[in-house]
Amino acid sequence: MKHEHHHVCFIVPPHIFKHLTTSSNAAVREAAHHALEVSAAARGKRTAIGPFVGLLAASPGVKQRTVYDEKGGTKLPGKLVRKEGGKATSDVSVNEAYDYAGDTYDFYEAVFARNSVDNKGMRLDSSVHYNHKFNNAFWDGTQMVYGDGDGQIFTRFTACIDVIGHELTHGVTQFTSALDYQAQSGALNEHFSDVMGSLVKQWTLKQSAAQADWLIGKGLLAPGVKGVALRSMKAPGTAYNDPKTLGRDPQPADMSHYVNTNQDNGGVHINSGIPNKAFYNVASAIGGNAWEKAGKIWYTAFTNKLGHTAQFADAANATYEAAGELFGVGKAEQIAVGEGWKNVGINVSKQIISGSAMITVKAPPASQPPDSAYVPPTIKSQPRKSKG
């Protein structure tokens, strides 16, 4: 299969919907089947759009946001309801999509001097009220799309700033490492989105590593669902446990519990718990504001040092090397990185530690024609690798 540099990245992973389809509550089952169908349709539609539509509207150095209202439809992007500089509307979803995309842009600019997801001022487009009671949010390669949630399992998906930061970071990855959305490289793709999503939230709230909740999607679960969020970086596997709805959070926190599965593109939303815990370890050990040191180390490694097939060990080596470059070889920051990974069962290569190995700098993603992801309709319905 041809390598693809862009994906439809959903915040709620398939294992959750799979569990929901076994619910004793008919409405919950129906909503889960519906979400799976709409997700599949969105993946199919996405392929016809072309990957870099947003670039056409690029304007260097200026934050540009637009928010569209789908009004329950699925034909993207919908009706334009707010653009950059426009007044707040009476629709809370519109305002959240606008504000949190702005916070994400500001975070990347202030902390990493990055100009939007492509570093060329790409316009940040969001569509809200996608479909009816849609239980998901996604980045489709060009824009953000948010469902309202069914109110029974999930609330509206614009409510969590870390979810918005997570999804827009899939765009950053698309334009940098282009990590394959499969197995370990896919789990690193998910991991980097969780890291930056959490850091956007921490930066906006001015929280130190010790003050942060280290949850992804806190407030997204509807009242009555037994859980606190979609994922926990601090304690992977503990975000929810509700046999009647979501099932149990399947995330492992170390390599000895690595999950080998064909589901979820090889467990990209599951095994991301391992590097997530490593990042939490590093940020906590360094202390202070996580975006200032741990965040910079991760950003440098993930946007400059990883190729699209990178594995967990490559990420450990790259972050270790980045820590040495940024804060000094053998200094506390670099030691924290090595220990943070070791704690989850991944050792930095001895060659990297001794400084005798050169990390391969990634080749830039090959430019692709806009229809590179097009899947002929005849094979679309056959079982094939899901696109995330």
Residues within window 50-89 making contact with Zn ion, judged by CB under 5 A: none
H or E element: which one contains 134? none
Residue 383: partners with Cβ closer than 8 Å, 6 or more residues away: none
Peptide bond preceding 364: is omega within 30 degrees of 0, i.e. cis? no
**Cross-strand bridge partners of residue 200:** none
Q: Smallest gap, in angstroms, from Cβ of residue 188 to Zn ion?
A: 11
Considering the complex, state which of residue 237 and residue 338 has its C-beta at the smaller distance from Zn ion.
237
Determine the interface stretch with Zn ion among 123-131, 186-194, 214-222, 363-371 (rule: CB under 5 A): 186-194
**Integer Cα distance of 6 and 179 in angstroms:** 9
Considering the complex, state which of residue 192 and residue 327 has its C-beta at the smaller distance from Zn ion.
192
Number of residues near Zn ion (by CB under 5 A): 3
What are the respective helix, strand and coil percentages of the chain, to the nearest 5?
40, 10, 50
Determine the interface stretch with Zn ion among 6-14, 53-61, 110-118, 289-297 (rule: CB under 5 A): 6-14
Other Cβ atoms closer than 10 A to 288: 12
Q: Whose CB is nearest to Zn ion? A: 9
- Give the β-pairing of 124-128 and 144-146: parallel
Q: Smallest gap, in angstroms, from Cβ of residue 387 to Zn ion?
A: 12
**Cross-strand bridge partners of residue 34:** none
For the window 85-104, what string marks contact with Zn ion as x by the rule CB under 5 A? --------------------
User: Does 9 interact with Zn ion (rule: CB under 5 A)?
Assistant: yes
Determine the interface stretch with Zn ion among 89-97, 142-150, 191-199, 209-217 (rule: CB under 5 A): 191-199
Determine the interface stretch with Zn ion among 56-64, 189-197, 217-225, 341-349 (rule: CB under 5 A): 189-197
Token pair of 40 as six digits? 């599949």
Considering the complex, state which of residue 190 and residue 333 has its C-beta at the smaller distance from Zn ion.
190
Residue 20: partners with Cβ closer than 8 Å, 6 or more residues away: 28, 29, 31, 32, 35, 153, 245, 246
For the window 192-211, what string marks contact with Zn ion as x by the rule CB under 5 A? -x------------------
Residues identified as active-site: 167, 269
User: Does 115 interact with Zn ion (rule: CB under 5 A)?
Assistant: no
Angle at 259 between CA 256 and CA 263, to 5 degrees: 175
The binding site for Zn ion (CB under 5 A) comprises 9, 190, 193
